[in-house]
Structure 1
């Protein structure tokens, strides 16, 4: 029974999030009413308040769901990054960008950004910054993986470099959210132009050794004699 109740709770929460995402996108955050969200989700208003305190709390839950999913996708990139640093960065960041409009519109992103700035000490803003920090940490870990593989100079501070890359991709996304006319394709083009320059500056000085096995990795391999 406990398992059934948990599944029912998860289903109700999922329906509320889906209803809110749809209505926020169609009507805007301010115009969407809680009773309309509850009706679309097929729950009572009282049930809605069992899950969320207000619309800002609901918007934050949608943002959290979005970021948690892209973080999970990003982990796959870290496990098996593409062959070049440029390809690895693009794959990771395209995942962030392309997923960003699944649950939220640009207008919803602007609303979330505004709340986080206007109420810096509120739980919404703190959680928003935590999500940003998690994304930045993933970028830093990708850099460490690429350094270990020999694509990026090991002398570079991966934390500092990751912060620079994340701040840049975040600025590009903010500009994208502010410009209703900018397409995802254009965002990708702008990102690539900057990553081409960045990766050329941070590339390993010994590219011919990038994918050679580390010393000792050949141990145990038997090479058959010729003839």
Structure 2
């Protein structure tokens, strides 16, 4: 019985989250109403508040779902990366970017970024920062894996390089989110161009 209740609870949570993110895309985050989200999810407004305190909670849940899925997909790349440093870095970066608009629109990303900056001590901001840190750590783990394999020179600070790569891909994603007209392929091309010189600098000569 407990298992059934848990599945029902998870199903309602997912329905509310999917209804909210769909409505955010259609009318914008600011214009979306709790009542409309509840109606789309086929739950009462009271039930909505059993799961989320406000729209900000839904937004952080969407960001969390996005990043958790990206991190899970990135594990296989880190465990068995492409042979060259550039190919490995770009494969992981593209994995992040390709999934970035599955649950969130650019407008939703801008809102999430703004909340995290405007309310730095809020639970939302702390969660957002934690997710960024986990992504950064995964990039560093990839560089470390490449170093163990011999693709990256042994004297390189793999953790610092991973942080540099993440900081750049994150900054470029912010620019992408700010520009509604920029296509995803343009973002990926720009970051590939920026990643190439660094990858060449840290790669072992034999690679």
The TM-score with structure 1 as length reference comes to 0.90
Secondary structure in 2 matching 1:104: coil
Q: CA RMSD in A?
A: 0.7
Query: CA deviation digits over 1:116-166, x for unaligned, max 9?
Result: 000000000000000000000000000000000111112111111111110
Which residue of structure 1 aligns with residue 84 of structure 2?
A: 84
TM-score where L is the length of structure 2? 0.98
Stretches (4+) displaced over 4 A:
none
Q: Counterpart of 1:144?
A: 144
The correspondence of residues 50-199 of structure 1 with structure 2, limited to 5 A, is: 50-199=50-199
Q: Distance in 2 between matches of 1:182 and 1:8?
A: 40
Structure with higher RCO (Cα < 8 A, 6+ apart): 2
* SS at 1:121 equivalent: coil
Does residue 38 of the first structure (1) align with residue 38 of the second (2)?
Answer: yes
Looking at secondary structure, tell me which structure has more helix per residue: 2
Q: How many residues align?
A: 207
Residue aligning to 2:19: 19
Structure 1 distance, partners of 2:94, 2:205, is: 27
The answer for the alignment partner of 1:6 in structure 2 is 6
CA displacement, residues 56-80 of structure 1 (integer Å, 9 cap, x when unaligned)? 0110000000000000000010111
Bigger radius of gyration:
1
